[in-house]
Copies of this chain bind each other. A is one copy, B any other.
Amino acid sequence: MKIAVDAMGGDHAPDAPVKGALAAIQEQPSLDVILVGEPAAIHRVFNPLPERVTVFPASQVITMEDRPVAAVKTKRDSSMVHMIKLVAGGEAVAGISAGNTGALMTAGLLSLGRMPGIERPALSAILPVLQGWGVMLLDVGANLDPKPSQLVQYALMGSVYCEEVFGMARPRVALLNVGEEAGKGPPLIREAYQWLKSTSLNFIGNLEARELLQGKADVVICDGFSGNIALKLTEGVARDIMSQLRRVMLRNWTTKLATLFLKSGLNELRTLLDYQEYGGAPLLGLDQPIYKCHGASETKAFRIAITMAHQFAVSGSQQRIKERVVGEETNG
């Protein structure tokens, strides 16, 4: 099965996506990768490429500064647009990019369309949980002004994804809110709360942001504005504290020496907080599987994301998610 990878997207392109692809095919014997991008730039990273890694040429790159809709419409020969088209045309079973998120969503909507029964796709992210596995947060920025019905659809897609991909039996779904009680929050959240209670999902109610990383829920639902803030704040606070900690440890020779004895534990903590361990997160609600990697992704994140996308495609989960979404009544 072939996975299409945007080789020009992200801060470390084409280096990280190319090396990530090479590492992923080593791990998965049934996986082939199509690297989409400028052939010369790709070959400068590794040459000759192994047989299972092919190059699909694209002369343009959509940058982080590009306006999504305009970029997708005018940069028709960009690596991202061609990557999506390979998935749309069936040449690849899933696609991956670490590039401009808005453009990726736009290109996905234009070429792949929405899953039947879904009004608006959502961008998900996996956040680290300090005891246990991660928590899936969605939407983290695809739709800044959603309706209650759309939050309910996010919950359904996130829940089914966790069942299919992570093998969870009854994923715990919660709403991110300013208090735990049922009546809390703005009308959007209060309405979604009532609606979620009436679904077959394992809805456990509201979750306060203070508890987001404590493993109390598996899928946490929010509007794209708050979700984007929650995602970036988690990343920022973790990065800032770890960097202050580094300063404390490098202060003088005794602190440096002491740090040596803490090294293995600190590395575990760093690994836990490293978004790269989570690879990429799916754009849920598109008709075919597209994964988004963090813009700062290095080789490891691409390797894991490519492997995740491949396993997802092999498992036939996309089809089962579609069936489940159509089965539930969530349209507003």
Contacts and interface: CB of A to CB of B under 8 A. Distances in A.
B241 A176 contact: no
Q: Give the interface centre of A176, A233, A242 by most chain B CB atoms within 10 Å.
A: A233
Contacts of A332: none
Given A209-B231, A257-B258, 11 more contacts: A130-B243, A144-B185, A209-B228, A209-B229, A213-B240, A214-B236, A230-B233, A234-B237, A237-B237, A258-B262, A259-B262
Interface of A: 130, 141, 144-145, 176, 178, 185-187, 208-214, 222, 224-226, 228-245, 247-249, 251, 254-255, 257-262, 265-266, 268-269, 272-273
Contact of A212 (B145, B236, B249): B236
Contacts of A145: 186-187
B262 A261 contact: no
22 contacts: A130-B243, A141-B178, A144-B178, A178-B225, A178-B228, A210-B232, A210-B235, A213-B236, A214-B236, A222-B229, A226-B226, A229-B229, A230-B230, A230-B233, A237-B238, A241-B242, A241-B269, A245-B245, A248-B268, A249-B262, A255-B262, A255-B265
A211 B186 contact: no
A130 B262 contact: no
A70 to B, nearest CB: 12
B244 A262 contact: no
A238 B236 contact: no
Contacts of A209: 228-233, 236
A46 to B, nearest CB: 32
Contacts of A259: 258, 262
A10 to B, nearest CB: 16
Nearest to A250: B265
Contacts of A245: 245, 269
Nearest to A235: B210
Given A178-B141, A233-B234, A241-B238, A249 B265 contact: yes
